[in-house]
Amino acid sequence: MSNRAMQRSLLGAALIFVLALPQLVYPILALDILLWGLFALALNLLLGYGGLLSFGHAAFWGSAAYAAGIAAKQWGLPFPLAALSGMVVAVLLALPIGYLSIRRTGIYFSMVTLAFAQMIFYIVNQWRGVTGGENGLQGIPRTLWGLNLSDPTIFYYAVLPLVLLGFWLTFRVVHSPFGHVLVAIRDNEARARALGYPTDRYKLIVFLISAGLSGLAGGLFALGHGFTALEVVHWTTSGTVVMMTILGGIGTLWGGIVGAALVLLLRDWLSNWTDAWGVITGAIFVLVVLSFRRGIWGTLLQRTAGREQRS
């Protein structure tokens, strides 16, 4: 099969998969897989293509969750506009955070993003009048110009176009000249700068795109569940999305959703047996980092690439 034909059949299979998902698992879990998948994809854009591991993406996912929740609950906005408000808030936050964070590279970048995300966590926790503090926001409505979307299956299909738009946008970014410059910066920043590319500007822009897409996913997450709690801005959320990304495969477009699906299905399945979820997650994470660094999708890609070369 040629590369292009393979990509097209893959795309078709993926589309059928997301369309059938609410029939395969219960709808809320299906929605979670979709949204965490988009979140992981957004992180992967920054990590896999920009070489920047943000350990504070909960700031964007979480602040958008709150913003979308408030927009829907207080102002009665229909869900696409509420999700959009969340996205806007995430991008606005990402501007100063990104500007300061990209001044450092590698592990320092991770630490700085983590610290900023924690700042957002404290603000959300303190600002009780708006965010509800430790109680979170309850009873977030899901409407679309009068239409009531409280049925989770219907909401899933209502959200799907927005999420697919997010996926499509990421694919376009990766395959655009911008995406290629990004990879060049990741591989050798000094060389890219010597070639005349304003590397800081590229890094900031990809940070903003990544934060915006995370915000889109986070806003829809809050709307889908009808409530939002402090957990969405906690650092463990940042860690979870990094784990999904690595489990799926760094620098692969499909890895995010594969990783998200696997983690969420595993969590769902394990919760019937034990509440030692943290121990098991941590152990999986340690194992992946130690011996499975390409991730599931990354390994598959490598295998197929190897076979093609041999044949």
> Residues interacting with another protein, by CB under 8 A?
53, 55, 96, 100, 103-108, 110-112, 114-116, 118-119, 122-123, 126, 235-236, 239, 242-243, 246, 275-279, 281-286, 289-290, 293
- Give the separation between CA 27 and CA 148, rounded to whole angstroms: 16
What is the helix (H) or strand (E) element at residue 147, kind and residue range?
strand 147-148
For another protein, the closer CB: 24 or 95: 95
For another protein, the closer CB: 56 or 152: 56
Cβ of residue 287: shortest distance to another protein, in angstroms?
A: 8
Contact 250, 295 (CB under 8 A): yes
For another protein, the closer CB: 16 or 100: 100
For another protein, the closer CB: 114 or 160: 114
Largest CA distance in the chain: 64
For another protein, the closer CB: 172 or 293: 293
Contact 246, 165 (CB under 8 A): no
Nearest to 91 by CA among 254, 205, 226, 195: 205
For another protein, the closer CB: 119 or 305: 119
Cβ of residue 255: shortest distance to another protein, in angstroms?
A: 15
- Give the separation between CA 105 and CA 84, rounded to whole angstroms: 30
Contact 267, 260 (CB under 8 A): no
- Give the separation between CA 311 and CA 307, rounded to whole angstroms: 6
Cβ of residue 61: shortest distance to another protein, in angstroms?
A: 17
Contact 87, 212 (CB under 8 A): yes
Contact 61, 221 (CB under 8 A): yes
Cβ of residue 173: shortest distance to another protein, in angstroms?
A: 22
For another protein, the closer CB: 76 or 282: 282
Cβ of residue 192: shortest distance to another protein, in angstroms?
A: 16
For another protein, the closer CB: 58 or 260: 58
Tell me the DSSP string of 231-299: GGGSHHHHHHHHHHHHHH-TT-TTHHHHHHHHHHHHHHHHTTT-S-HHHHHHHHHHHHHHH-TTHHHHH
Cβ of residue 111: shortest distance to another protein, in angstroms?
A: 5
Cβ of residue 119: shortest distance to another protein, in angstroms?
A: 4
- Give the separation between CA 135 and CA 157, rounded to whole angstroms: 29
Cβ of residue 174: shortest distance to another protein, in angstroms?
A: 20
Q: Which residues pair with 225 in a beta bridge?
A: none
Nearest to 42 by CA among 249, 247, 256: 256
